[in-house]
Amino acid sequence: MPKLPICPTSQILGHLGKMGRNDNFSLEILLSMINNELRLKVLDFLVANEKDLFISFETEKLGKLLGVSYRHIDVILEDFETKGYVEIHGMAGTWKNCFLLAPLYDYYNSLKEKDNTPPSKLIEHKMDIFISHSDSDKDKAKALIDLIVKAYHISSNKIRCTSVAGYKLPIGSNTDQILQDEIFSSKVFIGLITENSIKSTYVLFELGARWGAKLPLFPLISDPKGTSILAGPLKNINALNASRAEDVHQFITELGNAINVTPEPPQVYLRELEILLATANDNATSTVQKKTKPQTVVKDNSSEHDEYPNASDIIKQNSKIEWPEDYRMQAHYIQEQNNALSELRKGCTTDIDSEVFLQIRKGAKREWPNDYRMQLHYEREQIEAYKSLR
């Protein structure tokens, strides 16, 4: 990514230390040192993340992501307010509450028209894939990476995901500078969209910056609420849903086209795909499990014997089929399946009709006869859907 030709921070801070807030002459000097490219990046952020013409953010974090002092941002915002582009209210420290006014969009469009060099032509691709996500969603991010690696055999040094081991930033690196570069220089930018990520200032900025630069953006929703959590201009970008198998297959195909790599056949990465589908509904799963009163358990008592006979033998056999030469993954698979089996044997709570539960359970066994983790996922997903319809 080309460096922004702006005045050194020390020079701007020196001027700021000598001026008062109403010193218009000093403000003009500072503004003359900040070029339109930085203004445009601030505008990209404001326009991409506003909701009902309002945005609240921290200038210190925005400055770090742009590689400048937050006072650069303050100067630009003060200029915008003076010119009637924004109204700033309720300032506390570096937090800004901004209302965007109509003239701002005219100014934004005029700068866009002057920006004749498409960002994509200036970029040297260092990273194939950048995954923007919340640290709270690292399990979802890992499931996504596992699928991508299995489908494409991509080296770990071509994927950036800051919360997943093996894909983090190098030790001692300048975090903000590297992330700033990779947001724009990666061939593909994947936005992992969840309730956690849309509340993250960093994720919102990364999405807004990539969107504003008109570079390839792959929003992937990994949340039970689906597209309803999208806001601002991102609502107009087609986002795929990680809880739907057909969407994930489309994602794999289009990702391969973007990085110019042909994926393996689906049967090669089926296990990773199933795990991604399951993790995409973690929020719904936790909702089902959280209860405020004692539960009465309903089980399928159609027979007195164990509902899952020979389950241990089936699990061990499948682990060897799936991972014939990887004993670590065999052990992981067995533990994962046994944990799911234990949950299945607990039955279901009485906030759903027992006959409906038994019907759902039969469907789970029919769809996934030898995969207890996916049976559990199927049951919880169906129960949550049934409850939402009542």
CA angle 269/267/314 to nearest 5° reads 90
pLDDT reported for residue 8: 37
Tens digits of residue pLDDT in 329-348: 788 889 888 988 888 888 87
Lowest-pLDDT choice from 6-10, 131-135, 241-245, 257-261: 6-10
Task: Flag whether pLDDT at 28 surpasses 70.
Answer: no
Mean pLDDT of 210-237: 78
Tens digits of residue pLDDT in 194-209: 989 888 888 888 887 8
pTM, two decimal places: 0.47
CA distance 319 to 331: 8
Burial label, 308 (beta-carbon count in 10 A; 0-12, 13-18, 19+): middle
The domains of the chain, with CATH numbers, are 9-116 (1.10.10.10), 121-169+176-270 (3.40.50.10140), 284-389 (no CATH)
pLDDT band at 324 (very low <50, low <70, confident <90, very high): confident
pLDDT band at 33 (very low <50, low <70, confident <90, very high): low
- The count of other CB atoms within 10 Å of the CB of residue 165 is 9
CA distance 259 to 188: 7
